[in-house]
Structure 1
Amino acid sequence: MYKVYGRIQSRASRVIWMLEELGVPYEFVNVGPHDPQVLALNPSGKIPVLVDGDEVICDSSAIMTYLADKHGALTYSAGTVERAAQDSVFYALLDELDGVLWVATRHAFILPEEKRVPQIVETAKWEFDRNLQRLEKRFKGPFLLGDKMTIADILLVHCMSWAKGAGFPLNSDVLNTYGKEMRNRPGYQKLAELAKDT
C-alpha cells in the first residue's frame, strides 16, 4: 500500500486525486512541511512524499509521473509523440502556472516578512492570466490533450483551484467549464470529502 505524507491544502492533493483515479489503496498521513516524519524521509522537509515499500519519492510531479508509468494509466507511453505532447504541456504548466502561483504564495505569507515584495503578487496575477489564456489555445477537449485524461489534467485543475483560492483571475470560459466538469469526477469528490475531514 502506498503512503502519502502531506496536507490536503497542498500539492499532496494532486497525488491523492491521482491515487483515487487509479483506484489503488493508500494511506494518507496528514502532516505539514518540515514535520519530523517528513524530514525523516525528505531532508528538504517538503511535501508531498510518497512511500512505496522501501522506496521514497518526493515532489508531486515526480510522484505523478512515477505512478502513471507504473500503473500504465493517466499517461501516454514513453517514446511516443503523444507522450512528448503530454510532457510539453505538463512542463509548461509547472513553469507557467504552478511556478507563478508559488512565487506569489511565498511573497504573500511564506517568506520572512522583511524578504517579501508585495508588488510581485500583482505581477504574478497578470502573468498567470496571460499564461492561462495562452493555454486555452492548446486545449483539445474533453480533456486537455484530447480524449484521454492524463496527469496534465490533474496538474491543471489543481493549479486553477489554487488560483481561485488565492484570488487570481481565471479569464477562460473554456477552461472554467472544463475545470468544473473535472471537479465533478468521483476521484476529485473523494479528495473534497477528505479535505472536509482534515
Structure 2
Amino acid sequence: MDDYLVFGSAKSRAMRVLWVMEELELTYSVVTASPRSEEVRSVNPTGKIPVLLTQGVAIPDSVAIMTYLADRHGKLTADAGTVERALQDAFVNAVNDELDAVLWAAARHSFVLPEEHRVPDVKPSLRWEFSRNQDAIADRMAPDGPFVKGAEMTIADILLSHCIGWAQNAKFEVTNERLLTHNAMMRDRPAFKRALKAGV
C-alpha cells in the first residue's frame, strides 16, 4: 500500500496533486501548509509547495508529482515512450510556459516578491500575453474532445483546468469558449470537489 503525504493547500498548485490523487482514488494525508513555512522547509529547503512525501523521499513541483503518480498507477496518462505521451508532454509544457508562467509572474509582482522588488506596471503586459496565449492553447486541443487529447482524460486536463481557474481568481479574463467549456466540465467532476475539501 502506497504511503502519500502532500504538503500544501487547495489554494495553491497543490490542488493539482490533490485532484490527481482523488481521480486515482488513492489514500493520502495532507499537511495544510503555506510556502516557506517550517513544515514545508523540513521536506523542501526552497520552501515551495506542493511537496509529495513518499517512500521516505520528498518530490517537489506539481507537474513532476502529477506525472509520477499517473505513471506509477497507470492512469491519466499515455504510456511513456509513445508518440501519444510525447504529445501529452508537449501540451503540458506549453500550458506551463504560456499560462502558468504568466500567472505566476503576475502573482510575484502582486504579493509574492518583497514590495520594493515588485513592478506593478508589468501586469497589463502579462494580461495581454495571457489573452493571446489562451487561444493558442485551445488550438492545440483535440477537436473532437471532450478532453485535451480527445476521449481520454489525462493530467494535461487537470493542469489546464487549474490554470484557467487560477486565471479567473486573479481577474485575468478568459474569453476562449473551448477553454471555458472544458473548465466547466472538469470542475463538475466529483474528484475535483473532493480535492477542494481535502486541501482546506
TM-score range, shorter chain: over 0.9
Matches within 5 A, 1:1-198: 1-140=3-142, 141-194=145-198, 198=200
Counterpart of 1:145 in 2: which secondary structure?
coil
Query: Which TM-score applies when normalising by structure 2?
Result: 0.95
Distance 2:197 2:39 in 1: 24
Counterpart of 2:90 in 1: which secondary structure?
helix
Distance 1:156 1:107 in 2: 22
Counterpart of 1:88 in 2: which secondary structure?
helix
Query: Where do 4+ consecutive residues of structure 1 move more than 4 Å?
Result: none
Partner amino acid, structure 1, of 2:14: A
Aligned residues: 196
Distance 1:105 1:183 in 2: 23
Distance 1:87 1:158 in 2: 17
CA displacement, residues 80-117 of structure 1 (integer Å, 9 cap, x when unaligned): 00000001000011111000000010001111111111
CA-atom RMSD in angstroms? 1.0
2:15 and 2:196 in contact (8 A); partners too: no
Counterpart of 2:158 in 1: which secondary structure?
helix
Q: Aligned residues: percent identity?
A: 49
Using the TM superposition, name which of 118-127 and 11-20 deviates more: 118-127
Query: Which TM-score applies when normalising by structure 1?
Result: 0.96
Distance 1:184 1:152 in 2: 17
Distance 2:115 2:196 in 1: 32
Any gaps of 5 or more consecutive residues in structure 2? none
Counterpart of 1:4 in 2: which secondary structure?
strand
Shift of the alpha carbon at 1:55?
1.6
Higher relative contact order (CA 8 A, sep 6+): 2
